[in-house]
Amino acid sequence: MAQAVRLVSTPESMPKIEHFECVEVDMPEPADGEALVETLYLSLDPYMRSQIAGRHMSGSVLPGDILRGEAVSRVIKSRNPALREGDVIAAHSGWRSHALVTPEGARPLGFSGLPESYGLGVLGMPGLTAYAGLLLRGEPKPGDNLLVSSAAGCVGATVGQIGRIKGCRTIGIAGGAEKCGWLKNTARFDEAIDYKNENLREAIDRHCPATPPYGGIDIYYDNIGGDMLQAAMERLAFGARVVLCGLMDQYNSKVVPTGPNPALIIRARATVRGVVVYDHEDLRSEMVEHISSWIRSGDMVVKEDITIGLEQAGAAFVKLLSGATYGKVLVKLT
C-alpha cells in the first residue's frame, strides 16, 4: 500500500493537526508513458495555506482532497524510456509516498554534489523566488541597506545572503533569539532584529539610520505584510525599492487587512514591486548555477527543518504556520 495525506476540513483560522489525515491508498501502477516514483522529500510551503483557504492563484484544496505540493522523488518503475529507474527528479506529486509522473511533469534537479533536498529549497522554488525577487525587483547595489522580513525562512535567508554577496548591508527581521543568533553568526547578516522581543520601529531606526526627510531603508523585501510592512514603509530612503513577496500576516485570517498609506511611497519616490516566482522560470538554471557555487564556496549557508514520516506532515505544516520553524521545511519519507 501507499500513503497520502488528505485535508479533513477547511480550517477557519490556524490549522490544527486534526485538519489533516494520513491514509493508506492503493499503490499506483504506471501505464505506458508513465513512471512510478517514491517520494524522498516533500516540500511544505506557506502558499499551501492559501490553497486550503481557496484563494491561491495555483488552485484550491477542498476537504477530502489529497494536499498538493512539490516533492523530490526517485523513479522505482518506469514505462517511459525518458525516466529511468533510479533517476531522482522533482515533481508536483502532492503529499503522497508514491505517485505517477510523466517526463513533462518531472523536472531534473539540475545540480549534483549537494543534498537532493536543496532542490525544494535554496535551489528550488523558494531559491528562485529570492534570486529573481531581489535581483530583478530589488536591484541591489553595493552599500544599500537591505531589510528582509521572515529572514530566517528559506526565501528570506536566501535574499539576505544574495544581498550580502552583492555588497548590501543586510538587516534581517526574525522572531526569537535563536533565529536572530543564526542570522548574524551563521548566515552572516550584518544585523538581526528580534521583532518578538524588541521594538521593531526603534530597531529599524538604529540599524538603518535615516537621512531626513527620508528614512534609511534602500530595499525592503517583504514576506509578511501587515504592520511590519507599514513600519518599513514609514522608513524608506529616497528612491527605495519595496519587493512584495509574501503575506504571512494574513494567511490564517479571513479578514484582509488595510494596507500602508500610498503617501509613504510617493514621499520617498519609492518603487514597490510584486514578485511571483512562476514568471521567472527562465532564470532557474542561472539561479542553480550561481547559488550552488555560493554554497560550495561557503558564501551561502543553508538551513533545513526536516520532519521524518508522511504521517507527521500535517503536524509539520501546523508548526510551519505557527512560526516555530526556520529554514526550508521538509518531510523526509522513510
Ligand X SMILES: NC(=O)c1ccc[n+]([C@@H]2O[C@H](COP(=O)([O-])OP(=O)(O)OC[C@H]3O[C@@H](n4cnc5c(N)ncnc54)[C@H](OP(=O)(O)O)[C@@H]3O)[C@@H](O)[C@H]2O)c1
What residues make contact with ligand X under the rule CB under 6 A? 45-47, 126, 129, 150, 152-156, 174-175, 179, 223-224, 245-249, 275-277, 320-321, 323, 325-326
Least distance to ligand X, CB of residue 201, Å: 16
- Residues 201 and 305: their CA atoms lie apart, in Å, by 30
Q: Residue 37 or 318: which CB sits closer to ligand X?
A: 318
Short-list 121, 117, 76, 79, CA closest to 99: 76
Choose between 194 and 218: whose C-beta lies nearer to ligand X: 194
Nearest to 68 by CA among 52, 89, 55: 52
Nearer to ligand X, 42 or 75 (CB): 42
Shortest distance (Å) from residue 138 CB to ligand X: 13
Of the two residues 29 and 279, which places its CB atom closer to ligand X in the complex?
279
CB of residue 205 to ligand X, shortest distance in Å: 19
Minimum CB separation of residue 229 from ligand X in Å reads 11
* Residues ≥6 apart with Cβ < 8 Å to 168: 140, 141, 142, 143, 144, 145, 146, 218, 219
Q: Which grid coordinates are listed for 73?
A: 522523488
CB distance 179 to 326 below 8 Å: yes
Q: Which residue is nearest to ligand X (CB)?
A: 153
Q: Alpha helices, DSSP H only, in 268-312?
A: 284-297
User: Residue 329's beta-bridge partner residues?
Assistant: 305
| Nearest CB to ligand X, comparing residues 83 and 245 | 245
Closest CB 212 distance from ligand X, rounded Å: 29
